[in-house]
């Protein structure tokens, strides 16, 4: 990845448990977004957090952003088997125009 890393690369949990995925980036950003991708399919936007925000919620999703550490986390609470997918963070860098730069992704498996 040109921007950063995601941690862990793979995560396997049981239904009902919480899943936490972390993302680090390298440059100054306007915002950070999280996307979900089912195997071989397109990416679906989940949530956006702006650089001046520290935490954001959307349903079972909670995102935090620490610009001093250049890191973000995505928490999925009460996970379901249908949450099984790859999760990518993407940053809108201040110097790169309109493009999004994706992290390496976390493969989440939720076992029923």
Partner 1 sequence: AAGVIQSPRHLIKEKRETATLKCYPIPRHDTVYWYQQGPGQDPQFLISFYEKMQSDKGSIPDRFSAQQFSDYHSELNMSSLELGDSALYFCASSLAGTGEGGYEKLFFGSGTQLSVL
Binding site for partner 1 (CB under 8 A): 1-2, 30-31, 33, 35, 40-45, 48, 50, 88, 92, 96-105
Count each helix (H run) and each strand (E run) in the chain, helices first: 0, 11
Q: Which is nearer to partner 1, 40 or 59 (CB)?
A: 40
Q: Which is nearer to partner 1, 20 or 37 (CB)?
A: 37
Shortest separation between residue 15's beta carbon and partner 1, angstroms? 25
Shortest separation between residue 16's beta carbon and partner 1, angstroms? 28
Whole-number Cα distances in Å, 40 to 36, 37, 70, 73: 11, 8, 29, 24
* Angstrom distance (rounded) from CA 45 to CA 36: 7
């Amino acid at each position: 990845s040109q921007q950063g890393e995601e941690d862990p690369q793979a995560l396997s949990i049981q239904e009902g448990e919480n899943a936490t995925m972390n993302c680090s980036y390298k440059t100054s950003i306007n915002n950070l977004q999280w996307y979900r991708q089912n195997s071989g399919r397109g990416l679906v936007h989940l949530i956006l957090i702006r650089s001046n925000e520290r935490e954001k919620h959307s349903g079972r999703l909670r995102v935090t952003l620490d610009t001093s550490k250049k890191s973000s986390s995505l928490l999925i609470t009460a996970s379901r088997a249908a949450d099984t997918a790859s999760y990518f963070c993407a940053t809108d860098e201040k110097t790169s125009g309109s493009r999004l730069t994706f992290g390496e992704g976390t493969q989440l498996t939720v076992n029923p």
